[in-house]
Chains A and B, each alone.
Chain A
Amino acid sequence: MTRALQRSWGTLLVALVLGALAFSPTTSCYGEYTRGAIARGEWWRLWSGHFVHFGAWHCFWNIVVTLIAGLQVERRAPIWTRVFLALSPGLIGAMLFVTTPDLERFRGFSGVAAGLVAAWAALDYRDGKRSRATLVAGILALKITSDVFSSRLLLSAAENLDVVPSAAAHLAGVISAALLGIAWAGARIFVVKNQLHRVPTITVRKQASGSSDAPAPIHRSDCCSTPFK
């Protein structure tokens, strides 16, 4: 139990915060993404807008998806997940600010949740669970496509008819997951390379058979195959 908590506290903490903020309308007003306010210098709204919601159901379903995807990802890439949960809201907010000038107000965590789902699919693919990776990626693609092409209104926020599901936020979530994944992999490769250069003697596996003096070859893939860890 303790170990499971250690492996998933980032996602659980975020879910707890989302649930707590759902019942605080004042915080929602001060925290929501409002283009005009951001332009006036309230930059925190780029980040905080994702943590507030339009209603209890809106928040509930976002928490469900965050928990499903977040626990899957954090179990396998704990540090990356926590970094993603901390940084991606700001990244997504910035992308929305640059790419969607018509969007005046925004609330909701599903952009980050979409990023987590994309990371889940990527991890499954890396770990050889190809069919599940395809299914997860397919469901994500279907969600984004339906948001882009459907005229449906935001059903989760039952009280707000003029709130539309933001396909841009979901796309931005996937892009931020990809960017942070690439950055993470790059950082790991950089660190490992530096370690290889600095440490004069590295672990040498002796060959089972043959000369004991000959060192076993070290493959690049041994160091860099798991960028998400």
Chain B
Amino acid sequence: MRPTFCSRWIPVALAVAAAVTLLNGCYSGPRVRRADRTSSIVDYLYPGANRPIAPASLPVLKLPLRVGVAFVPTSDRASPGAYAPPSAISEMRKAELLRRVAQAFEGRDYIASIEIVPSSYLRPGGGFQNVDQLQRLLNLDVIALVSYDQLQFTDEKRASLAYWTIIGAYFIQGNKNDTQTLMEAAVYDIASRQLLFRAPGVGRVTGSSTLLQVDEKLRGDAGAGLQLATDDMIANLKTQLDGFRARLKTTPDAVAKIEHRAGYTGGGSSEPWWALGLIGVLGWTRIRARRTARRSSAR
């Protein structure tokens, strides 16, 4: 019996339908996906508060300062079906970043010690109660809280049409990736809950990848973005530390009240105004003596 038209083409049609269905499972057309890794200082210090609580008073800084450096606890969010599975930065990476931040504080005469606080010591939403615990535990005066916000986008270019061929998914770079990182170090006086200064840092990494390399590429970009943002933040942190030092010297009463702990260094200082005041007294005496002499000679 000769096969009919239907009996010849039905299996072919079914095979094509099955292939399309399967391909759709792998690739469902161009779209934008995003992943967001964030650690917010506000969420950590003021959990559940609509407005940050006003600082208690002018900070009293006991020089030299004992500084703690810590990463604010993270929370990860991802859009459904995001390529890169959201994951926090590893503890090893955090420790490495904190070491670099700590180095920015080193070698400054008004800083006595720098303590890197392990992430396990910070509770998500722990607030200043948590910071107070750290203060007592590690004997700190000031804490530098490092937070970051990393957004990763991946969307498909026209070249992604080649993914339909399956082979294209291996060799054609049809995905455009964009990683934007914002880091911030906020330095707080623990006792007064006052923000002393902050230093932001930004980093942006863009690139392309094949469909099958997206995860790997985005992970690499996340690391590179953090590195760039950290470099930028540390440069800004150094500027802010120098600026803070200058403010302490020029307008100390506006920044903080300075006290000195045991073992401080004192200087016998004759300041310019004192010397000029005494010179002024001498000048005034001389002028007065001349006037008196003139008057007596006139008589």
A interface with B by C-beta (< 8 Å): 50, 53-54, 58, 61-62, 64-66, 68-69, 72, 96, 100-113, 117, 129, 132, 135-136, 139, 142-143, 150-157, 160-166, 168-170
Contacts and interface: CB of A to CB of B under 8 A. Distances in A.
Interface in B245-269: 245, 248-249, 252-253, 256-269
Contact of A156 (B267, B277, B285): B267
Interface in B153-191: none
B270 A110 contact: yes
Contact of B271 (A68, A101, A156): A156
Contact of B269 (A62, A66, A100, A168): A62
Contact of B267 (A54, A68, A150): A54
Contacts of B285: 129, 132
A134 B59 CA distance: 38
Nearest to B262: A102
Contacts of A50: 268
A54 B266 CA distance: 10
Contact of A164 (B257, B267, B278, B279): B267
A137 to B, nearest CB: 10
B245 A161 contact: yes
B252 A152 contact: yes
Interface in B210-231: none
Nearest to B259: A151
B268 A111 contact: yes
Nearest to B252: A151
B271 A162 contact: no
A167 B170 CA distance: 76
Contacts of A54: 267
B245 A139 contact: no
A58 B64 contact: no
Given A162-B63, A164-B260, A65 B110 contact: no
Contacts, number: 144
A25 to B, nearest CB: 15
Contacts of B249: 153, 155, 161
Nearest to A159: B109
Instruction: Name the prevailing secondary structure of the B interface residues.
Output: mixed
Nearest to A151: B258
B267 A65 contact: no
B272 A61 contact: yes
A102 B277 contact: no
Nearest to A103: B266
B269 to A, nearest CB: 5
Contacts of B267: 53-54, 58, 106-108, 110, 154, 156-157, 160, 163-166
Contacts of A152: 252, 258
Nearest to B275: A64
Contact of B270 (A62, A100, A101, A102): A62
Interface in B192-250: 245, 248-249
24 contacts: A61-B271, A65-B270, A65-B275, A68-B275, A68-B282, A102-B261, A102-B263, A104-B265, A106-B267, A110-B268, A135-B281, A139-B274, A139-B277, A151-B252, A151-B256, A153-B248, A154-B267, A154-B269, A155-B249, A155-B269, A156-B271, A160-B267, A164-B267, A165-B271
A161 B107 CA distance: 12
A108 B269 CA distance: 6
B34 to A, nearest CB: 45
A53 B110 CA distance: 19
A84 B226 CA distance: 64
Contacts of B259: 151
A164 B264 CA distance: 8
Interface string B100-143: 00000000111000000000000000000000000000000000
Given A110-B268, A160-B267, A164-B265, 6 more contacts: A151-B258, A156-B272, A164-B264, A164-B266, A165-B267, A170-B268
A105 B265 contact: yes
Contacts of A150: 253
Nearest to B276: A64
A157 B269 contact: yes
B270 A64 contact: yes
Contacts of B277: 139, 142
Nearest to A173: B268
Nearest to B65: A162
Nearest to A96: B266
Contacts of A61: 269-272, 274-275
A139 B256 CA distance: 27
A173 to B, nearest CB: 8
Contacts of B252: 151-153
